Amino acid sequence: MSDLRTVSPNKAKASLRRAMRKKRPIFIWGPPGIGKSDIVGQVTDSFHNSHLIDIRLSLWEPTDIKGIPYFDSTQGKMVWAPPMELPDEEMASKYDHITLFLDEMNSAAPAVQAAAYQLTLNRRIGEYKLPDNVVIVAAGNREADKGVTYRMPAPLANRFVHLELAVSFDDWFEWSVDNNIHKDVVGYLTFAKCDLYDFDPRSSSRSFASPRSWTFVSELLEDNEDDESTTTDLVAGSVGEGLGIKFMAHRKIASSMPNPSDILSGKVKELQTQEISAKYSLTVSLCYELKEACDKNDKKFDDKVNNFLRFAMDNFETELVVMGIKLALTQYSLPIDPDAIACFDEFHDRYGKYIKAAQSA
């Protein structure tokens, strides 16, 4: 699979939007847990007055697509009753755009794939016809991922535009900020980017790290939990034993860092702990706090930004300083006013060229 062209989640979204506008069926390939379904949902939501129909095709029988025949006594012949899950004209009239998402297509039995082939090829099957505003998108795992898959027939494969999805930390980071992923998860993975995804189809481990399983970790964390053993069990059960222990060790060190509120208020000016992974978490936490202050229209917002920049200059490595201001400006779009920040000129003189290079990268 290494010789195939791959796309990041954000690139996949751009390709999906264009294909959907042209009503061209598209197939997203990729290993488990990297967000294929979520991407389809996000792109569908980007269209005006849209609706997503999410079907796990691996759970369907051929009759679930084609329908079931029954005798119509008024006509004196057999007719087909189409499945309710497929959109009819009445449903289609309520929306400008409908995405029919056939997930796990290549995990479906060959007879189901054959029925899906006819629907994709002709936009109809039996008496049923897809409404004009319905677009088909499919997805599935690769054969190399060791899941239950069937080889896709060449005629069916040729009806799709194929995208091979790859994990991208930058895309995940952008998504994590917008979706309130726990600061400890974001801080740890910003430091250990390679731990975002470690799926190995040859491994016997049931748990592995993926964007999906790190979301589980984020949901299961409690900032004031007393039962560390239970938290460790849950984290390890989500991302695997090795990464679970690494993450919990990181979290223990990160918890000893100063309170971000005390730094932004100017109460804390020096950092005693020099553990680099904990610094990453602290940087993310400081940006979280600044975003919250901005959302609340805090009158001391400019002072807090000044304390943030001053603390970063005095205690962080250049890489962390650049990451912090880039997160504040790019991801959170914080309204930082250079004229209102006492140390801004010094900050710009020291780091301006690095920030400019990072933003253009």
Does residue 189 carry a pLDDT above 70?
yes
Does residue 211 carry a pLDDT above 90?
yes
Task: Specify the DSSP class assigned to residue 209.
Answer: -
What's the pLDDT at 51? 96
**Backbone phi and psi for residue 310, each to the nearest 5 degrees, phi listed first:** -65, -45
Residue 144 binned pLDDT confidence (cut-offs 50, 70, 90): low
- pTM > 0.85: yes or no: no
What's the pLDDT at 147? 62
Instruction: Kindly provide the residue ranges of all beta strands, DSSP E only, lying in the chain, ordered along the sequence.
Output: 6-7, 26-29, 50-56, 68-72, 77-81, 97-103, 124-125, 128-129, 134-140, 161-165
Count other Cβ atoms within 10 Å, centred on residue 144: 11
For residues 121 and 109, give the distance between their C-alpha atoms in angstroms, rounded to a whole number: 18
Residue 72 binned pLDDT confidence (cut-offs 50, 70, 90): confident
Asked whether the beta carbons of 36 and 167 are under 8 A apart, the reply is no
Q: Convert the pLDDT of each residue in 160-185 to its tens digit.
A: 999 999 999 999 998 998 888 998 99
Does residue 83 carry a pLDDT above 90?
no
- 27-36: b or e for each residue (b if 16 or more CB lie within 10 Å)? bbbbbbbbbb
What's the pLDDT at 1? 43
Angle separating helix axes 276-295 and 301-315, nearest 10 degrees = 170
For residues 215 and 172, give the distance between their C-alpha atoms in angstroms, rounded to a whole number: 11
Find all residues with CB under 8 Å of 231, minimum gap 6, and list them: 220, 221, 222, 225, 248
Does residue 35 carry a pLDDT above 70?
yes
What's the pLDDT at 130? 93
